[in-house]
Amino acid sequence: MTRVTRYEHGSRVPGWDQAADLDKDPAGVPDPALVSVPAQLRAEIEAAMARYPDRHSAALPALAAAQRLHGWCSPEAIEQVACVMRLTPAYLSSVATFYDMFELEPVGRHSVYVCTNISCSLRGADALYDAIEEAADGDPQINLRHFECLGACDIAPMVSVDHLYYGPLEPADAQRLIDDLQAGREPIPDLALARLRSADPNANS
Ligand code: FES
């Protein structure tokens, strides 16, 4: 039987429990003269802000753009976003630490999120996770994580690989998934949600 590993607080996902440093001076809105922001990132953030009446609403797409560029929401990435959005780094950190898909530490190039919530668990997600972990064998480029429901229970057990969905998977598919990623190929294309045929024959092209 597969043993479900859990963090100290009881969840299978790490959560965020970093204490605030109350002795540190609060960081203000960064001075644009002191912060260098890559032109492409600045353009993406400004385009996101232009879509909303209140610039705060662009925090998610702006942080996502910074994460794509830097690989994670590093202090430098957050400072660049804060500089363009004219917000404090603390405001953006509070957003980044709330949402699971923002990385708060450097991670591998490929995200592999295995849904281990109820529907996927009932269909063998824990054994699938173990098989993927064994296949990845500690490869630092594979950012393997448990995830709570990814909203695709109809293809349980499923994984999100680099933000595309695949399923249903068997533990036997794990090695192929990792081999494809390591070889730079599209992973397990036959299990891609994007290629599943619709129940409505007229919707298939
Ligand atoms: S429980 Fe896995 S996608 Fe919903």
Q: Which of 128, 150, 154, 155 to mutate to test the pocket of ligand 1 (most atoms within 8 A of CB)?
A: 150
CA of 71 to the centre of ligand 1 (A): 26
- In this prediction, residue 200 carries a pLDDT of 79
pLDDT 10s digits, 12-37 = 776 666 777 788 888 899 999 999 99
Enumerate the domain spans of the chain: 39-96, 110-203
**pLDDT under 50 in the chain at which residues?**
none
The predicted pLDDT at position 22 comes to 83
Looking from the CA of residue 118, the nearest atom of ligand 1 is 1
Hey, how many other C-beta atoms are within 10 angstroms of the C-beta on 103?
Answer: 19
Ligand 1, pocket residues at CB < 6 Å: 115, 117-120, 149-153, 156, 158
**pLDDT the model gives residue 66:** 98
What's the angle, vertex CA 97, arms to CA 94 and CA 71, rounded to 5? 115
**pLDDT computed for residue 79 by the predictor:** 97
Query: Can you give the pLDDT at residue 135?
Result: 98
Pocket test for ligand 1, best of 126, 158, 161, 193 (most atoms within 8 A of CB): 158
Q: Which atom of ligand 1 is nearest to the CA of 115?
A: 2
Ligand 1 centre distance from Cα of residue 99 (Å): 17
Minimum-distance ligand 1 atom for the alpha carbon of 117: 1
Q: Indicate the fold that domain 110-203 takes in CATH.
A: Glutaredoxin (3.40.30)
Mutation probe of ligand 1 site: the residue of 120, 164, 166, 169 with most atoms within 8 A of C-beta: 120
pLDDT of residue 171: 97
pLDDT of residue 119: 96
Ligand 1 geometric centre to CA of 176 (Å)? 22
CA of 131 to the centre of ligand 1 (A): 18
